[in-house]
Amino acid sequence: MYYFLKAMHEDDIPRVQEIERQSFSAPWSANTYRRELSSPATSRYIVARSSPSLPPDEPIMPYVPRRSLLQTLLPSVFTKPQPVSPFPLVGYAGLWLMVDEGHITTIAVAPSQRSQGLGELLLNGLIDQGLDMGATRLTLEVRISNESAQKLYLKYGFEPSGTRVRYYTDNGEDALIMWTDVITEPSYQHRLSELRERLALRLQRQAGMVE
Ligand SMILES: CC(C)(COP(=O)(O)OP(=O)(O)OC[C@H]1O[C@@H](n2cnc3c(N)ncnc32)[C@H](O)[C@@H]1OP(=O)(O)O)[C@@H](O)C(=O)NCCC(=O)NCCS
């Protein structure tokens, strides 16, 4: 199977919410996602899709619309229906820009598709979106108990920098705050390109493209 990233579109929200319900105890509403998608200058959402054959070679964000206020208020009048994608949505992730900080808001892979490198693929997509928007560092909060996600973040240079006590209202769990170093620095870029080479090889092997 091949995997590739695209911008999240409103039509993706029902499937995103399906994965969200399987992944998080306090899922976001469809309206929250719609709101997030309406401000592409400061908020970027991507999805990972799967394809049994080599996918179309297009940039990730070719169709992020810039909306006027009226378009945001009356999306159904202005939004052109997107052709239904033939490629199943298997994961998604999002990032907000605050001044020059990229805040990772969410990342999830469908349970049946985990441990194949898709979390990494999505995180790489977010790092690219952060760089594109001018972020110099990235940050996120993660549940203290979520060791698999923390390992993913540590692999990409996020370091623990404190906790937010009882941050998660559903069970009162603490959040671990993590930050990267400056992502535009040569040292981070070097580490990133090594990780990307390894990930590309892993995904190519899984797709049967290389031995
Ligand atoms: C966290 C999540 C996105 C990872 O996605 P994934 O596709 O399974 O992860 P990948 O296969 O890309 O793994 C990348 C790295 O993450 C870490 N990791 C992923 N799953 C892991 C597991 N079960 N145990 C330990 N480490 C794990 C490892 O460091 C791994 O690198 P490695 O393969 O070199 O060991 C996925 O588990 C998920 O959707 N979880 C539910 C939602 C969630 O918790 N999101 C994070 C909110 S902060």
Ligand 1 atom closest to the CA of 141, numbered from 1: 48
At 161, which helix (H) or strand (E)?
strand 159-164
Range of weakest confidence among 7-11, 77-81, 92-96, 205-209: 77-81
Instruction: Look over the chain and give the mean of its residue pLDDT values, rounded to a whole number.
Output: 89
Q: Is 89 in the pocket of ligand 1 (CB under 6 A)?
A: no
Distance 77 CA to ligand 1 centre (A): 39
Of the CA atoms within 13 Å of residue 102, those in its CB half-sphere come to 30
Q: Are 43 and 97 in contact (CB under 8 A)?
A: yes
Q: Is 176 in the pocket of ligand 1 (CB under 6 A)?
A: no
Split at pLDDT 50, 70, 90, the class of 60 is: low
Q: Which residues, including other chains, have CB under 8 Å from residue 83's CB and lie 6 or more apart?
A: none
pLDDT of residue 207: 87
Q: Which residues, including other chains, have CB under 8 Å from residue 119's CB and lie 6 or more apart?
A: 91, 107, 109, 149, 152
Ligand 1 atom closest to the CA of 104, numbered from 1: 48
Q: Which residues are catalytic?
A: 141, 153
User: CATH code for 2-206?
Assistant: 3.40.630.30
Distance 203 CA to ligand 1 centre (A): 15
Residue 80 has pLDDT above 90, yes or no: no
For residue 76, give Cα distances in angstroms to 31, 81, 169, 188. Answer: 13, 9, 33, 42
- For the chain, what percent of residues have pLDDT higher than 70? 88
Count CB atoms within 10 A of the CB of residue 40.
Answer: 17
Q: Is 48 in the pocket of ligand 1 (CB under 6 A)?
A: no
Parallel, antiparallel, or unpaired for β 43-51 and 2-7? antiparallel
For residue 67, give Cα distances in angstroms to 77, 82, 114. Answer: 12, 16, 34
pLDDT in tens, 99-157: 999 999 999 999 999 999 999 999 999 999 999 999 999 999 999 999 999 999 999 99
Residue 69 has pLDDT above 50, yes or no: no
Residue 65: phi and psi, rounded to 5, are: -80, 145
Ligand 1 atom closest to the CA of 152, numbered from 1: 16
Measured CA to CA, the distance from residue 124 to residue 196 in angstroms comes to: 8
Burial class from Cβ neighbours inside 10 Å (0-12, 13-18, 19+) for residue 109 reads buried
The predicted model gives 195-206 an average pLDDT of 94
Distance 155 CA to ligand 1 centre (A): 10
